[in-house]
């Protein structure tokens, strides 16, 4: 190992590059998985404040909230997203047509 003696650092100026503000998103999540509570926590960490996560599946809303809290999700601790619950089956066209599909920034389908 060679010792560094009197190392000099060249003076330079750095541009302060501002990152664009993240835009809130509206996401449709079709289906249900046992680990969906973990997915929600990850989305909350990465999405911009004011984002909406629409959960569309055939699990009843009361049952859904219980499953999420039983899985360890504290809905009150979500800081960037709000959950919107809609019941329906994603393979039935008229169920999907009841949603404002054009308003979503992205749509994901998950399996059980």
What distances in angstroms separate CA 30 from CA 20, 58, 95, one per listed residue? 30, 9, 11
Q: Which residues pair with 29 in a beta bridge?
A: 55, 108
CA distance 89 to 69: 23
Confidence check: pLDDT of 2 > 70: no
Q: Which helix (H) or strand (E) holds 107?
A: strand 106-109
* pLDDT, tens digit, 9 for 90 and up, residues 55-112: 999 999 889 999 999 999 999 999 999 999 999 999 999 999 999 999 999 999 998 6
Predicted pLDDT of residue 21: 75
* Cα gap 36→97, rounded to integer Å: 24
Q: For the residues 3-18, what does the mean pLDDT come to?
A: 66
Q: pTM for the full model?
A: 0.79
Number of Cβ atoms within 10 Å of the Cβ of 112: 7
Mean pLDDT of 4-13: 66
pLDDT, residue 55, reads 97
């Amino acid at each position: 190992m060679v010792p560094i003696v009197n190392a000099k650092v060249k003076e330079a100026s750095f541009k302060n590059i501002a990152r664009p503000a993240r835009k809130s998103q509206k996401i449709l999540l079709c289906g249900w998985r046992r680990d969906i509570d973990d997915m929600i926590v990850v989305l909350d960490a990465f999405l911009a404040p004011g984002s909406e996560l629409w959960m569309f599946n055939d699990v009843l809303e009361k049952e859904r909230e219980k499953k999420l809290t039983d899985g360890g999700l504290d809905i009150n601790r979500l800081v960037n997203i709000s959950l919107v619950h809609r019941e329906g089956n994603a393979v039935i066209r008229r169920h999907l047509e009841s949603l404002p599909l054009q308003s979503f920034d992205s749509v994901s389908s998950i399996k059980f």
